[in-house]
Amino acid sequence: MGILSGLEGFGLGGLENIDIFGSDKKEEKKPEQKAEAVPELTESDLIFAKNFKCPCCDKEFKSKTVKIGKAKLIGTDLDLRPKYEIVDSLKYDVILCPHCGYAAMARFFQYITGPQAKLVRVNISQAFKNVEPKGDIYTYEEAIERYKLALANAIVKRAKSSEKAYLCLKLAWVIRGSGEALDEKLPDFDARLKQCKAEEDELLKNALDGFLAARQSETFPMCGMDESTVDYLIAVLSMRFGQMEVAAKLVSGILTSPNANKRMKDKARTLKEVMVEQLRGKK
């Protein structure tokens, strides 16, 4: 007879022979199953081919673009260049029609007037030869070529100064990214990096000139940016090229503006600190 005999009367006969201390015994550890390795995301995982219809020639085509919400922003440079994990989203911001050669940043692609389209067809389309991308992603070289074609289109169609300035700015950012991605083991690494920096400077100087011209002749918003954002960009670029008085005046204007948001005021304060440090270093 077991200690728990008699439980059958309660309908629990199955418990009569249960081991009193068995539940306290440590269970033998089962060998841990290795978690299945999660494949790391690559740039191609964040890219897809999106359908477009060219407003210049009315033909349909596909262009690679970044999946919304998939790329993780990890920070920005002083001049607002965004930096993402895994992918440089800037490489995919130009849409290029492979049929007629019309190219523009995504923000401007659909907005082309009849006279502008005619200028593109005459000056771009007649001589255009399409070059297909070599892989699933755009290389920096391919992205830079696309931006240059977009800039040529902007010049030909007589785009606003702000659009041309913004193109110069973003192309400079892409070239900066290409410099950062250079392999230091390349035999001509130093020369190539020096060339990247020279091209970036030239484009940023053009961006500064373009934004200054647009500031005098255009209304806001400008390329999707409000007045304080454009003034901040002009201030950063002015500081880069030694125009400290211009930069200081614009920063002061942002900090005292009732219309500037907290984000831009914070960035203006950071820029002011950078300017102070630079001036101290020159003494």
Task: Please name the amino acid found at residue 68.
Answer: I
CB atoms within 10 A of CB 47: 21
- Count Cβ neighbours within 10 Å for each residue of 197-225 and write b for 16 or more, e otherwise: eebbeebbebbbebbbebbeebeeebbeb
pLDDT of residue 145: 97
Task: Give the global pTM.
Answer: 0.85
Q: Which residue has the tokens 């919304």?
A: 68
Instruction: Determine how many CB atoms are found less than 10 A away from the CB of residue 254.
Output: 23
pLDDT in the model for residue 87 = 96
DSSP 259: S
Q: Please classify residue 260 by burial: count the beta carbons closer than 10 Å to its beta carbon, then call 0-12 exposed, 13-18 middle and 19+ buried.
A: buried
In the chain, beta strands by DSSP E: 47-53, 60-66, 73-76, 82-84, 94-96, 103-105
- Answer yes or no: are the C-beta atoms of 16 and 24 closer than 8 Å: no
Separate counts of helices (H) and strands (E) for the chain = 7, 6
Enumerate the β-bridge partners of residue 84: 73
What is the reported pLDDT for 281?
A: 78
* Nearest-angstrom CA–CA distance, 184 and 181: 9
- What pLDDT shows up at residue 64? 96
Q: What is the pLDDT of residue 69?
A: 86
CB atoms within 10 A of CB 264: 20
> What digits encode the pLDDT tens for the residues 115-159?
999 999 999 999 999 998 889 999 999 999 999 999 999 999 999
DSSP annotation string for 125-178? ITT------SSSS--HHHHHHHHHHHHHHHHHTT--HHHHHHHHHHHHHHHHHH
Q: Which residues of the chain have pLDDT under 70?
A: 1-16, 18-38, 283
Cα(169)–Cα(81) distance, integer angstroms: 9
What pLDDT, on a 0 to 100 scale, did the predictor assign at position 6? 56
Break the chain into its structural domains and give their ranges: 43-225, 227-283
Residue 40 is predicted with a pLDDT of 87
Q: What is the pLDDT of residue 30?
A: 61
